[in-house]
């Protein structure tokens, strides 16, 4: 599954960077996140409960940050297991662009793989769930930043969605 999108966040690039690296903020923003702990400056563990169609599972996972270029970009990679429900693994490139002093455009490109019962549900259900979860994440993230998100103009052919598929 591949997705990419851009979101306008009502905050400076430095503030968005700080929020993206704050486990307490991320825990509040990630739908279904029950635990998120920073285990090193570039690693986190997470527990996320997610429901995709008829399948509901608790995923335990590990996330690693790499290619750090503060406050501009990083690569996030993760994998998680939900027992019989399946597994998810993937990564995303996140890039921040200052549109103005108090608006940042967050660009992301995701590549994720899923297996087990989740993979049997079909890509349309999984993609629509990922888009819904991404929307919830960005609504909460924008609120944490002090406003509401606006979708940046998408290039033709781009798909939307993302974060829960990385951490779940």
d(C-alpha 103, C-alpha 114), whole Å:
34
CATH number, domain containing residue 106: 3.30.530.20
35-91 per-position pLDDT tens digit: 999 999 999 999 999 998 888 999 999 999 999 999 999 999 999 999 989 999 999
Number of domains into which the chain is organized: 1
Please give the model's pTM, rounded to 2 decimal places.
Answer: 0.83
Query: What is the domain range of residue 67?
Result: 2-167
DSSP-derived pairing of the beta strands 103-115 and 43-52: unpaired
**Segment 107-132 mean pLDDT:** 90
Q: Are 67 and 58 in contact (CB under 8 A)?
A: no
Residue 30 sits at φ, ψ, to 5 deg, of -80, 120
> Do 82 and 168 form a contact (C-beta atoms < 8 A)?
yes
């Amino acid at each position: 599954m591949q997705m990419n999108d851009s979101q306008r966040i009502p905050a400076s690039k430095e503030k968005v960077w700080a929020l993206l690296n704050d486990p307490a903020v991320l825990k509040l923003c990630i739908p279904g996140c029950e635990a998120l702990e920073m285990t090193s400056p570039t690693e986190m563990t997470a527990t996320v409960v997610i429901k995709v169609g008829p399948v509901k599972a608790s995923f335990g996972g590990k996330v690693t940050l790499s290619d750090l270029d503060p406050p501009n970009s990083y690569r996030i990679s993760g994998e998680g297991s939900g027992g019989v429900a399946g597994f998810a693994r993937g990564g995303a490139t996140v890039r921040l662009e200052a549109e103005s002093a108090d608006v940042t455009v967050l660009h992301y490109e995701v590549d994720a793989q899923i297996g087990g019962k989740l993979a049997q549900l079909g890509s349309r259900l999984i993609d629509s769930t990922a888009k819904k979860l991404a929307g919830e994440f960005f609504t909460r993230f924008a609120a944490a930043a002090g406003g509401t998100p606006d979708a940046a103009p998408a290039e033709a052919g781009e798909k939307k969605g993302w974060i829960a598929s990385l951490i779940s």
